[in-house]
Amino acid sequence: MKKATLVLKDKSFFEGKSFGADNGSAGEVVFNTSMVGYPEALTDPSYKGQILTFTYPLIGNYGICGTKKDKNNISKHFKSDNIHIKGLIVSEYCENYSHWEAKKTLADWLKENNIPAITGIDTRALTQKIRKTGTILGKIVIEGKDEPDFYNPDLDNLVSQVSIKKPIIYKKGPKKIICVDCGMKNNILRNLLERNLTIIRVPWNFDFIKEGIKFDGIFLSNGPGDPAMLTPLHETIKKAFEIKKPIFGICLGNQIMGISSGAKTYKLKFGHRGQNQPVIDVSTNQCYLTSQNHGFAIDEKTLKKDWNIWLKNLNDNTIEGIIHKSLPFFACQFHPEATPGPVDTVHFFDKFAKML
């Protein structure tokens, strides 16, 4: 293994060994507290532009499974067709994997996708630093290779990089929904299809109202980056509100609904990334454990009077869901479709289907 160094924008650094691709990379350094699910996390489009640190000390022990598809021809194990992170940081990489479905090592998979990775890093110290100072820009430098420049993903429209380029139709049942793809995870698509819905999956900037498409409801997906950048989508959803048909948003979709309704968003200090985030329904006091991956949130002070706060994070009291007081619009900041993580809130898909 070659020497590899994680260099942070504040000039601090962490030294380790390279086990991924033999090239440097740069992005925003974030951490995820999950114990399992690294193949799902790496293929989650919401991680676009980020160097991901796993706090769990051992990564790679069950390898990487093959590309099996389900009955809808959707990948069973990956959340999209590509790895989206800019780099991977772990405390200890396990070279010898053991899993009955595994086809290759994590290292081989990363090399195939040109993603650098470092093992031997004190991830506890790195995570404590991020929690104290906030997310920070960083770069992975491989011994003997060119050193990359720092890269700030918040300056780019990352959604445009992960969204589909033209509409796709999945024919199922009689109810038809517009599904705005901002970097949608495969298991969201799977959950919608399992509710016997016909899905018209459209790019993030596709004005489906101007196109005159008939539909029974709208779904807004997860995705990466700053939601305030997506002005064309804000304008389309403002028009959709006037139609008053059901709208359901997840993660970035929650932020888009907030902005389109007149609220503002802000960047969290270090975000929420893990499988054990406690969320409470403020109207019923029911608590859920949720899977999360986001760096922005809706500013509670700017939420308009026609909307209620539906869900809140019990760790930091940030908004985890909003719901309209009289119209069929609702959204959550976390991932009810899980993969990885708990399925406490998968019934939100049933809630949406019943509204149509």
d(CA 220, CA 297): 16
DSSP for 114-145 reads T--EEES--HHHHHHHHHHH--EEEEEEETTS
Q: Contact, 276 vs 251, CB < 8 A?
A: no
Q: Contact, 2 vs 24, CB < 8 A?
A: no
Q: Is residue 48 predicted with pLDDT exceeding 90?
A: yes
> Where residue 68 falls among pLDDT bands split at 50, 70, 90?
confident
**302-308 contacts: CB < 8 A, separation 24 or more?**
302/262, 302/263, 302/264, 303/258, 303/261, 303/263, 304/261, 304/262, 304/263, 306/261, 307/258, 307/261, 307/263, 308/283
Q: Is residue 71 predicted with pLDDT exceeding 90?
A: no
pLDDT tens readout for residues 266-316? 999 999 999 999 999 999 999 999 999 999 999 999 999 999 999 999 999
Mean pLDDT of 136-154: 97
| Average pLDDT score over the chain | 97
Q: Please identify every residue annotated as catalytic.
A: 251, 335, 337
d(CA 293, CA 41): 9
Q: What is the predicted pLDDT for the residue at 35?
A: 94
Q: Contact, 79 vs 46, CB < 8 A?
A: no
Q: How far apart are the first and last CA of the chain?
A: 55
Q: What is the predicted pLDDT for the residue at 247?
A: 98
Domains in the chain (CATH in brackets) are: 3-155 (3.50.30.20), 159-355 (3.40.50.880)
In three-state secondary structure terms, 233 is helix
**Burial class, 33, CB count within 10 angstroms (exposed 0-12 / middle 13-18 / buried 19+):** middle
Q: Contact, 75 vs 186, CB < 8 A?
A: yes
DSSP for 82-108 reads S---SEEE-SEE-SS---TTEEE-HHH
- Both tokens of residue 224? 């990466």
Q: pLDDT over 90 for what percent of the chain? A: 96
- Both tokens of residue 299? 């500013």
Q: Is residue 66 predicted with pLDDT exceeding 90?
A: no
Backbone angles phi, psi at 107, to 5 degrees: -60, -45
Question: Cα dihedral sign for 235, 241, 242, 246?
Answer: positive
